[in-house]
Structure 1
Amino acid sequence: MKKVFILMLLLNFNLKLAAQPNCDCASELDFVYEQVQTTASFKDQIRGEKKAKFEENYLSLRAQMNDELSKLDCFWALNQLMYMVQDKHVALTENPLGLSEKSLQDSSFLAGYRDSHAFKNFPKTDRNVANLAKSLEGKRLDEVEGIYKIGSKLKMGVYRVTPDSLVGVILSSQVEIWEPGQIFAYLKHSNIQSHYDIIHYGTSQKNLKFSKAQFFDHGMLFPSVLKEDLESNYAWIDKPEEEAYQLSNLTDDVQYVWLNSFNRVTKPAERDALIAEIPRGLTAKNLIIDLRNNGGGADKISLPILKELKKKKVNIYVLTNFFTGSNAEMTTVRLKDDFDAVQLGQRTYGAISYGSNYGKSYNSPSGLFNFYPTDMRQREFIAYEEVGVQPDIKLNQESDWVRQTVEYIQSVND
């Protein structure tokens, strides 16, 4: 079996990782090995030959553990052990490094951090940052290489180091805990076209995170990580939460509602108000249900809305993006299956079959990493796990998606 430490290969491509602290990766691996087997997804999927393959992968990784393994490579190895399990709710992250919201407001703390071993020895590129930035100028929006804005205060350059691996480096920073040359992300092509497995650091706490099969589309790597020359990001809906759950009229024949979340804590009142409005307020024969940015929630919020819609004779069109996840994905499937709804936009996130009732997580033996398991399953959605729900109509990035949907409705009704 080939070694899976893809990040090790990057050591030969102008990166400075040698000074990163090491960890007892064997113990961390044993911890993840035990924890992942408790998940609902593992129990569902890893049986027979797959179980034997999982054991083989574990033993191969275990044999490669040594005292010289960096925290970064250890983190990659731990995620590789979990990789066989299709479950985007399961997560392994590094515990924060002491960079809290409060400490980031303390100038003396920040000065001390910038003088610390952790800051001075943070992974860096050996590439000249100015030359790197110049070489990445003018990259197309559909190329993952290029210059990105991370929020409003950081810029990152993503460049290729092997045919299937890339690195994201900070090019400029107005944030004290980041400086040009430091590495923000490592990307590797996944087995799905236009998707990347990404190890990246938290913007404010610089703790390691892993994003499996992250969809790159039209200059958007994450909602807050966008190509600098991206003028309009129509896939992402950017408006105040107060506008959610409001039924509005777009034309005489088309109405619209944005369901931004199915959170069981904050949304019951909004849900109840919408349900009360539907009998008399939903008068058009076409309804656009916008589920963009909806990361999910609970059936107790989403199902009563669908039950009320069942009483109306209305054509439903559902808008989704890659950040439509979990219960919002279930809702998308239910709308398509039970209402014959047409789905437009992007594929959904693919975190649909599993979840956590209790939200518990567990620290590794060293306290360095944290494991978040799943304890619930809905097997009827397993076909969509990690691949998402694919749209019937893909929308382009050239104009507003609601407007495109209205035009589509008009075209099919002419």
Structure 2
Amino acid sequence: MKTALKIKISLYFLGLILLSTCSLMAQQATCACKQDLNFLVKKIKKSSAYKNDFRGAKEVFDQKLSPIASKATSQMPLFDCYLVLVETMQLINDRHSIVYGNAKFDAEMLKDEDKLAAFKETALFKMYPNFSGDLERLQNNLSKKAVEEIEGVYHAGRSLEVGVVKDNLSEDYTMIVLRSQLPLWKEGEQLGILKLNGQNRALAVIGSYATKTPVPITTGFKNGEFMSLNLKKDTAQISYWRSAFADNTYHFEQLSPEVSYIKAGDFSGFYPVLGEAEKFYEELKGKAIADNLIVDLRNNGGGGDRNSDILFEILENQKNDMQLFVLVNQNTGSNAEQFAIRLKKAKAATILGDRTKGAIAYELKGDISILPSNFFKVYLSSKRHREYLSYEGVGVKPDLYLDYSKDWLKQTQNLIQERMK
């Protein structure tokens, strides 16, 4: 007999399904997509990015929307609907604004067997299509692909193995789970799709590894690795593009008498991260900084001026002849991108690494709306930084691109040594 707790949990998840316009038909999750799309378009047209991109050219937006909107039907598979919504969001050049799953499940709930069992009966869990072909043959074929090819077998640590294969009906790539030790994913499920957008980058429309929540993620691709997805073909390959001193968000190191190093891994303006930053910056004021300083912003996804302004003031007050070198990668985003530009202007900093994320010109202020189906959310930015608009969707180009097959910190030190001769 079910316990009161089990009944309560079951009713909770059942309520999520009944309150939504989504349904589970023959194990296929479907949704009233037209209704969601119309709602999303109305929200987009009120956004800062829309007003910037299509001011005086509203008909251009409608023309671009038309072929996308034609895919939406009154009742269509949830994953297909989500692709339509994401494609619509891509019409505005704003990397902060996002449409994603209205998840009622988090990683902590995995520890509760009853909640996990109830979640597996929801539309969210069942929205991802299944591969209908021979999984073993697919894996064998993909394992023969060269490291520089998009197609192939990728690994997310030891828990997940994903096959990336070209879709013959489009220019996209399908991501299929080949092996999984994760509780929410099983072999043969479609993890998501990849849409290439040039410059060795792609838009991944996938389910979260931990919660299965659908999210869009812009990721770079280099040497058989999708950087923002933690997917790589060769697990033994060293990811030199990642920031150094992995165990520390903030770090100071005297690399040599001539070279100092600062890692700023997060510019969050909220505690406890802000508290950790404030403590580090206060300690930094007492450090003797060498004539050459490396500031590592790799994988710093941003935050706010409340954090970064403190570090900027410290660096701005350093001696004028100090040579500043800023390390960035494709995961350097938002306020961290702004910070790199500010250092270049104020201190003639040399930027090294790879082009940054390009999510730089807008701010999120909490405008979250649930779409009519109750299955998706849209999060739209509400503040625009005009001085950074030319970098939005493009990123900050480094003064020197670094080699992905060699240690980036050592490459920077070698450059400093060359300049000192």
2:288 matched to which residue of 1? 282
Q: Residues 338 and 156 of structure 1: is their aligned pair in 2 closer, same or farther, counting only changes over 3 Å?
A: same
2:19 matched to which residue of 1? none
1:346-365 correspondence runs (5 A) = 346-357=354-365, 359-365=366-372
- For residue 247 of structure 1, give the secondary structure of its aligned residue in structure 2: strand
> Aligned pair 1:407/2:394, yes or no?
no
- For residue 373 of structure 1, give the secondary structure of its aligned residue in structure 2: strand
The alpha-carbon deviation at position 111 of structure 1 amounts to 5.4
1:342-376 CA-to-partner distances (Å, cap 9, x unmatched) read 1111111110000123x231100121110001011
1:37 matched to which residue of 2? 45
Q: Residues 309 and 175 of structure 1: is their aligned pair in 2 closer, same or farther, counting only changes over 3 Å?
A: closer
Q: Distance in 2 between matches of 1:60 and 1:29?
A: 13
Question: Do the aligned residues in 1 keep the contact of 2:250 with 2:264 (CA within 8 Å)?
Answer: yes
Question: Do the aligned residues in 2 keep the contact of 1:249 with 1:256 (CA within 8 Å)?
Answer: yes
1:292-327 CA-to-partner distances (Å, cap 9, x unmatched) read 111111112112322222222211000011111100
> Aligned pair 1:65/2:48, yes or no?
no
- For residue 238 of structure 2, give the secondary structure of its aligned residue in structure 1: coil
Unaligned ranges ≥5, structure 2: 1-24
Q: Distance in 1 between matches of 2:289 and 2:134?
A: 61
Give the count of matched residue pairs.
Answer: 392
Question: Of the candidates 99, 107, 113, which is equivalent to residue 101 of structure 1?
Answer: 107
Question: Of the candidates 180, 183, 199, which is equivalent to residue 190 of structure 2?
Answer: 183
> Aligned pair 1:260/2:268, yes or no?
no
Question: Do the aligned residues in 2 keep the contact of 1:278 with 1:309 (CA within 8 Å)?
Answer: no
Q: Residues 386 and 118 of structure 1: is their aligned pair in 2 closer, same or farther, counting only changes over 3 Å?
A: closer
1:75 matched to which residue of 2? 82
Q: Distance in 1 between matches of 2:43 and 2:178?
A: 38
Question: Of the candidates 162, 170, 174, which is equivalent to residue 167 of structure 1?
Answer: 174
- For residue 257 of structure 1, give the secondary structure of its aligned residue in structure 2: strand
- For residue 133 of structure 1, give the secondary structure of its aligned residue in structure 2: helix
Q: So what's the TM-score if we normalise by structure 1?
A: 0.87
1:4-41 CA-to-partner distances (Å, cap 9, x unmatched) read xxxxxxxxxxxxx9963221111101110111122221
2:255 matched to which residue of 1? 250
Q: Distance in 2 between matches of 1:245 and 1:320?
A: 15
1:231-269 CA-to-partner distances (Å, cap 9, x unmatched) read 21111236455x343322001100001001111123444
The alpha-carbon deviation at position 193 of structure 1 amounts to 2.8
2:9 matched to which residue of 1? none
Q: Residues 247 and 239 of structure 1: is their aligned pair in 2 closer, same or farther, counting only changes over 3 Å?
A: closer
The alpha-carbon deviation at position 339 of structure 1 amounts to 1.0
Q: Residues 340 and 206 of structure 1: is their aligned pair in 2 closer, same or farther, counting only changes over 3 Å?
A: same
- For residue 34 of structure 1, give the secondary structure of its aligned residue in structure 2: helix
1:342 matched to which residue of 2? 350
Q: Distance in 1 between matches of 2:48 and 2:153?
A: 39
Unaligned ranges ≥5, structure 1: 1-16
- For residue 72 of structure 1, give the secondary structure of its aligned residue in structure 2: helix
The alpha-carbon deviation at position 202 of structure 1 amounts to 1.3
The alpha-carbon deviation at position 172 of structure 1 amounts to 0.7
> Quick one: which amino acid aligns to residue 67 of structure 1?
S
Q: Identity of aligned pairs, percent? A: 29
Question: Do the aligned residues in 2 keep the contact of 1:244 with 1:257 (CA within 8 Å)?
Answer: no
Q: Residues 108 and 345 of structure 1: is their aligned pair in 2 closer, same or farther, counting only changes over 3 Å?
A: same
1:123-162 correspondence runs (5 A) = 123-162=129-168
2:383 matched to which residue of 1? 376
Q: Distance in 1 between matches of 2:123 and 2:93?
A: 37
- For residue 60 of structure 2, give the secondary structure of its aligned residue in structure 1: helix
Q: Residues 117 and 342 of structure 1: is their aligned pair in 2 closer, same or farther, counting only changes over 3 Å?
A: closer
1:133-187 CA-to-partner distances (Å, cap 9, x unmatched) read 1112243332221111124311111111236221111111112321111111211
Q: Distance in 1 between matches of 2:88 and 2:277?
A: 40
1:9 matched to which residue of 2? none
1:3 matched to which residue of 2? none
1:357-404 CA-to-partner distances (Å, cap 9, x unmatched) read 3x2311001211100010111110111111111111111122321111
Question: Do the aligned residues in 1 keep the contact of 2:243 with 2:297 (CA within 8 Å)?
Answer: no
Q: Distance in 2 between matches of 1:118 and 1:275?
A: 43
1:13 matched to which residue of 2? none
> Quick one: which amino acid aligns to residue 46 of structure 1?
F
Q: Residues 345 and 121 of structure 1: is their aligned pair in 2 closer, same or farther, counting only changes over 3 Å?
A: closer
RMSD: 2.5
- For residue 256 of structure 1, give the secondary structure of its aligned residue in structure 2: strand
1:215 matched to which residue of 2? 220
The alpha-carbon deviation at position 104 of structure 1 amounts to 1.7
Q: Distance in 2 between matches of 1:62 and 1:167?
A: 22
The alpha-carbon deviation at position 114 of structure 1 amounts to 6.1
1:100-140 CA-to-partner distances (Å, cap 9, x unmatched) read 33432234554566688876784111221111111122433
Q: So what's the TM-score if we normalise by structure 2?
A: 0.86
